[in-house]
Amino acid sequence: AAMAPGKKIRARIKRTLPVRGPQAPTLSELMRWYCLNTNTHGCRRIVVSRGRLRRFIWILLTLSAVGLILWQCAELLINYYSASVSVTVQFQKLPFPAVTICNINPYKYSAMKDYLSELDKETKKALETFYGFSEGKSKVRRSVDGWNSTASDFFRQIPLLHFEDFSRTVTDFRSGQKRKIEGSVFHKDSSIVNSGDSNDIIGFQLCDANNSSECALYTFSSGVNAIQEWYKLHYMNIMAQIPLETKENLSYSADDLLLTCFFDGLSCDKRHFTRFHHPLHGNCYTFNSGESGTVLSTSTAGSEYGLQVVLYIDEADYNPFLVTSTGAKIIVHDQNEYPFIEDIGTEIETAAATSIGMHFTRSRKLSEPYSDCTETGADIPVENLYNKSYSLQICLHSCFQKAMVDSCGCAQYAQPLPAGAEYCNYKKNPNWMYCYYKLHEKFVKEQLGCQQICKDACSFKEWALTTSIAQWPSAVSEDWMLRVLSWDKGQKINKKLNKTDLVNLMVFYEDLNERFISENPANTLVTLLSNFGGQLGLWMSCSVVCVIEIVEVFFIDSVSIVMRHQWQKAKKWWNNRKRDRSGKPPQAGDLERQGHDNPACIDEDLPTFNTALRLPLPQGSPLPRTPPPNYSTLRLQTAFTEQLPDTLEVGQH
């Protein structure tokens, strides 16, 4: 009586458990049951087929189908993060890009005389010493006179050296002494120096100021490059000490540069240009910079409707050592982009009409996880020193500048200043040149890590340019053109302009088609799932339901069967041990039940004949009067079963 409620509770728990237990007492029964009732196709064939060969073939086919499914689905998953490219062309009113125009020469040479006279004098002297070049007798004499009186700072800082040969004997330009040189030699021009002309090798030496034995020697195959590079180093040094306002005044004003301006059939003037001071190019002027809040747009293509400007390039006022070409430099860019005019500018010839036709292309890449690009640059650990939107170039330059400030203690002149830093000059940072060259070499060899940190921008605008040149002004129009332009330049100057001082530039859209290249995800989750479904359905007619089935049968049911078997084994073993100890013979009841040939009888939960029909177990008598048929075999004949629930339902009505 005490056991009854416990049994009852146990029975109830068994019933209420969500897992009612497997449909079969043994694993093979379970598999059989699964194969017969599953929704997938192959499995049933295995059970139903007769003959070993056929069954084997079906097992093989089913397994290979499973393999195929796994393979294909893995492929689908791997290719999930791929992108497809779409190109759309839209014909529309296009925003006109910002056009930044610079004179190739950064500052008026006449205005720079105060700052550069010493340097120029020494450069000329060097030219005379090395190459015997002199501009004219009188000038040379003057410079020679000046030479003796001036204590040369420039050559003390960076000596210009003339190499005799490869024996590392050099002539110091200043002292004229020959000496051996220590340190590593860097060839700026190429790694292979023409050995036949070793006499012509010229270079300069940069030493670590703190440790004079640490020297790097830079050599150039051509004196032109050596002199220019040497000059540029000193020039940057001098310019770094001049405040920005002064520099802006030293450079060209908008009135100086612009002679005429015409945009979209309308006249424009300097008010449409924004000044932009570039460290290496002086004052540049940006047309349509968008700073006033509006961006001009073009609604008609063609040269008449673009920007047409005539620039005045005062060739006589050029710095002879800093720049050796004449003309203007322009760059077409977006309003939010920083014009890297020294990197990607287009040079414009004087005495010619340059027409630049543009095609506009906008591109957008997908960011993570499709590709490694950045939308805004906010996720890049490099501070953007430029006041413009992110680009790879901005990142690289900022990164280098930061490294420069960190290791050399001052900022490089060509790039903007980080907060709290100042430009390098010899007075404060005697060592910067050596440091800069070392660092730059590291940067180029990708040892600074900048190239790894900086990522592409995900979207960018590009203007493809087609440049062509015509002679301008033409022979017959030259006369009146120059006269009228001189009048334009300033009525009081009677001097007629020279055509080599003029640059005519036209920037226009060739067509108003905007090409938009965008990456789209090639797969969405929906297509991925439907592809899965297609694969599963094609090979095995399987669905998520089957997957759940498989989980149910192969994991829950099988495990529970195995567990139960183990439990019964353990119980049996325990009983046996107990019996062995007590010496009691085994109960007859076990044998009786085995006689039914229905293994289900062992388990109370199973739908055996007895439990189903609520047949009372034959009690007392060991043998049933009429042995029931082996009902388990009935299970194969499923075809008739369907009617039963219907009739039962009907009966309840």
Partner 1 sequence: MNLKKYFIRALHRLQKGPGYTYKELLVWYCDNTNTHGPKRIIKEGPKKKFIWFFLTLLFASLVFWQWGILINTYLSYNVTSSLSIGFKTMKFPAVTVCNANPFKYSEVKHLLKDLDRLIEAALERILQPTPGNSSENVSPSLNMELWNQIPLVLIDEHDKDNPIILDIFESDQPAGNEIFMSNETSMDNETATPPAPANVTSEEKKYKLAVKLCSHEGSDNCTYRNFSSAAQAVSEWYVLQSTSILAKVPLQDRIRMGYQAEDMILACLYGAEPCNYKNFTQIYHPDHGNCYIFNWGMDEEALNSSNPGAEFGLKLILDISQQDYIPYLSSAAGARLMLHQQKSFPFLKDQGIYAMVGTETSIGVLVDELERMGYPYSDCTVNGSDVPVKNLYSQYNTSYSIQACLRSCFQNHMIETCGCGHYMFPLPEGVNYCNNEDNPGWAYCYSSLRSSIRDRQICIDSCKETCNDTQYKMTISMADWPSEASEDWIFHILSYERDMSTNVTLDRNGIIKLNIYFQEYNYRTISESAATTIVWLLSNLGGQFGFWMGGSVLCLIEFGEIIIDSLWITVIHVISWCKGLKQKRAQVRYPDAPPTVSELVEAHTNLGFQPEDAGTLPRDEALPPEPGTPPPNYDSLRVQPLDVLGPDSDAE
Interacting positions 457-476 with partner 1 (CB under 8 A):
464, 466-476
User: Min. distance of Cβ 271 from partner 1 in angstroms?
Assistant: 4
Query: Within positions 82 to 101, which residues make up the interface with partner 1, using CB under 8 A?
Result: 84-93
623 binds partner 1 (CB under 8 A): no
Segment near partner 1 (CB under 8 A); pick from 102-110, 131-139, 399-407, 540-548: 540-548
Minimum distance, C-beta of residue 32 to partner 1, in the bound complex (Å): 13
Q: Which is nearer to partner 1, 64 or 477 (CB)?
A: 477
Is 558 a binder of partner 1 (CB under 8 A)? no
Please list every residue from 292 through 311 that binds partner 1, using CB under 8 A.
Answer: 292-294, 296, 299-304, 310
User: Is the backbone peptide bond immediately before 473 cis, with ω within 30 degrees of 0?
Assistant: yes
Q: Which is nearer to partner 1, 484 or 570 (CB)?
A: 484
The CA angle 180-185-187, to the nearest 5 degrees, is: 130
Interaction residues for partner 1, span 492-531 (CB under 8 A): 492, 494, 504, 510-513, 515, 520, 524, 526-527, 529-531
Per-residue tokens: 6 = 């416990």
- For 34, phi and psi rounded to 5 degrees? -60, -45
Does residue 427 interact with partner 1 by CB under 8 A?
no
CB of 363 to partner 1, least distance (A): 13
Nearest residue (CB) to partner 1, 453 versus 484: 484
Kind of pairing between the strands at 346-348 and 328-333: antiparallel
Is residue 45 part of the contact set for partner 1 (CB under 8 A)? no
Q: How far is the CB of 300 from partner 1 (least distance, A)?
A: 6
> By C-beta, is 312 or 413 nearer to partner 1?
312
Which residue, 225 or 611, has its beta carbon nearer to partner 1?
Answer: 611
Instruction: Decide: is 638 part of the binding site for partner 1 (CB under 8 A).
Output: yes
The torsion region of residue 142 among left (phi > 0), alpha (psi -120 to 50) and beta comes to alpha
Query: CB 613 → partner 1: shortest distance, Å?
Result: 5
Going by their DSSP bridges, the two strands 202-207 and 346-348 should be labelled as: unpaired
Task: For partner 1, give the closer residue by CB, 160 or 268.
Answer: 268
**Rule CB under 8 A: which of 366-385 touch partner 1?**
none
Kindly tell me which residue out of 477, 568, 575, 594 binds partner 1, with binding defined by CB under 8 A. 477
Residue with smaller CB distance to partner 1, 323 or 465: 465
Contacting partner 1 (CB under 8 A), which of 179, 483, 565, 578?
Answer: 483
Tokens found for residue 229? 């590079």
**Residue 604 and residue 374: Cα distance in Å, rounded?**
66
Q: How far apart are CA 469 and CA 323, in angstroms?
A: 22
Q: Is the CB of 99 or the CB of 259 nearer to partner 1?
A: 259
Tell me: does residue 601 bind partner 1 (CB under 8 A).
no
- For residue 27, which amino acid is it? L
In the window 230-289, what residues touch partner 1 (CB under 8 A)?
Answer: 255, 259-263, 265-272
- CA nearest neighbour of 413 among 234, 271, 175, 261: 234
411 secondary structure, DSSP code: B
Of 384 and 610, which has the nearer Cβ to partner 1?
610
Taking the C-alpha atoms of residue 35 and residue 55, their distance in angstroms, rounded to an integer, is 13
Rg (C-alpha) for the chain, rounded Å, is 45
Pick from 408, 397, 434, 393: nearest CA to 233: 434
Could you give phi then psi for residue 515, rounded to 5 degrees?
-95, 125
Q: How far is the CB of 553 from partner 1 (least distance, A)?
A: 12
For residue 146, the one-letter residue type is G
Q: With the C-alpha atoms ordered 399, 404, 410, 414, is the resulting torsion angle positive or negative?
A: negative
Q: How far is the CB of 239 from partner 1 (least distance, A)?
A: 25
Rounded least distance, CB 90 to partner 1, Å: 8
Q: Identify the sign of the CA torsion 332, 334, 335, 341.
A: negative
| Contact flag: residue 211 with partner 1 (CB under 8 A) | no
> Given the rule CB under 8 A, which of 59-67, 277-285, 532-540, 558-566 is the region that contacts partner 1?
532-540
The pair of three-digit structure tokens given for residue 455, joined into one six-digit string: 């990522």
Q: Work out which of 52, 614, 619, 621 binds partner 1, going by CB under 8 A.
A: 614
- Bridge partners of 519? 85
Give the DSSP letter string of 68-104: HHHHHHHHHHHGGG-EEEEEEEEES-EEPPEEEEEES
Token couple for 248: 């802006």
Backbone angles phi, psi at 260, to 5 degrees: -135, 155
Q: From the CB of 485, what's the least distance to partner 1, in Å?
A: 5
CB 514, min distance to partner 1, A: 10
Per-residue b or e along 365-397, where b marks 16 or more CB atoms closer than 10 Å to that residue's CB: bbbeebeebbeebeebebebbbeebbbbbbbbb
Q: Which helix (H) or strand (E) holds 613?
A: helix 609-613
4 binds partner 1 (CB under 8 A): no
- Whether 537 and 96 have beta carbons less than 8 Å apart is answered as no
Task: Pick out residues in 168-187 that bind partner 1 (CB under 8 A).
Answer: none
| Smallest gap from residue 609 Cβ to partner 1 (A) | 7
- Selected binder of partner 1 within 607, 617, 627, 630 (CB under 8 A): 607
The amino acid sitting at 499 is K
Q: Should residue 339 be labelled a site residue for partner 1 when binding is judged by CB under 8 A?
A: no
